[in-house]
Amino acid sequence: MPSLPRPPAARTALHALALATAVAAVTAGLGALGLPSPALFAGLLAGLLDALLVPRPLALPRGAGTAGQAVVGVTIGTLVQLSTLAALGEHWLPVLLVTLGTLALSLGTGALLGRHRDVDPVTGAFALVAGGAAGLVVMARQLGADERVVAVVQYLRVLVVVLSLPVVLRVAFGVRADGAAVAGVDGSPWAGLVLAAGCGLAGRWLGRVAHLPAASLLGPMLLAAALSLGGAADGVRVPAALETLAYALIGLQVGLGFTRASLASVARVLPAALALIVTGIAGSAGLAALLSAATGLPLLDTYLATTPGGLYAVLAAAVGSGADATFVLSVQVLRLLVMLLAAPVLARALAGGLLRRRRGTPPPAGPTP
């Protein structure tokens, strides 16, 4: 007796289950290799393959991407703690100037990438902003950038930083990061769930009321940061499983948006992006030398503090190499906040400049049709 065809709902459920299994397997494999943001990259890769190889790619439920963005916003917000930022102490002004220098360096390399024929200026800027890769990917589409290019180039930047870090520490500083684990915060997972749900919902609503750009990310992030600085969320963290799910959903959302043409376009961008990433890392090392000279801090501390990407990998390297991990974390968190809060302003400025240039372009010569 021939088998009856499965109803559409059953096919969709099996499709989603297969995709979720693939994302979980790739996440576990990348995590075992110590690569950064494994769930985000696993979702991106699985979604890309699903979009290109399956006749009817999976459509994510409405609101899934928004929920993932809110969880990522809360996760970033909980990193902002008074004790961490207080570690800057008397060095806050040089650190702030170096952070702004990193932003200027990112904009310079992003402007060069924006001259590529497959990249517009807004996408170029977002792709090479040094800090908050997951947050920038979330904001990219909402602020007019191509989130596919941004996701691939941002992950490539973090990957280059993390893979080159042990070599730089060994060759330039004569130290070896032994991969020491970073001590986590013992907190109730239920408190973390309540924080994620409360800040996610209330923060998004407040962000929309305040007309914040990328309100689904920035609203929860700012609310969680305010609670953390005020002590109301001290020691509370988003559960790791929920954070992993959020990153996977964001990766899937980006990956499912690929087409063969857009994949070819991203592939053409990668050589130029890689060269500019290396330029940005070298520029950040120069800023680290300036920060060391201005503050008298060891160059190892300032190099790790200004390394453009891979927050947890850099923090683990600081612990393992004997650097001042508290100072490194404080500078990294400050840069993360500056980059994410500056990104919407920069996107609007770049988009406005591009629009003005287009309006000011004279019509082509020839008869009017």
- pLDDT per position as a tens digit, 328-344: 888 988 888 888 888 88
Q: Whole-angstrom Cα distance, residue 83 to residue 89? A: 10
Average pLDDT of the chain to the nearest whole number: 83
Percent with pLDDT over 70 in the chain? 89
Q: Quick one: CA torsion of 79, 326, 33, 129, rounded to 10 degrees?
A: 60
Q: Residue range 29-57: average pLDDT?
A: 85
Instruction: Give the mean model confidence (pLDDT) for residues 140-153.
Output: 86
pLDDT, tens digit (0-9, with 9 covering 90-100), for 53-105: 888 888 888 788 888 889 988 988 888 888 777 778 888 899 999 999 999 99
**pLDDT of res. 25:** 93
Average pLDDT over residues 212-238: 86
* Mean per-residue pLDDT, 186-190: 68
pLDDT at 367 over 70: no
CA distances to 104, 113, 182, 264, 309 from 343, in Å: 12, 16, 29, 27, 16
Here the tokens at position 211 are 């007309």
Cβ distance 128 to 343 under 8 Å? Answer: no
What's the predicted TM-score (pTM) here? Answer: 0.80
Q: What was the pLDDT predicted at 174?
A: 83
Candidate from 81-90, 274-283, 289-298 with smallest mean pLDDT: 81-90
> Is-contact 246 221, C-beta < 8 A?
no
Of 5, 39, 22, the C-alpha closest to 242 is: 39
For residues 136 and 311, what is the distance between their CA atoms, to the nearest angstrom? 15
Written as six digits, the tokens of 341 are 């809060």
Q: What is the pLDDT of residue 23?
A: 92
pLDDT score of 269? 93
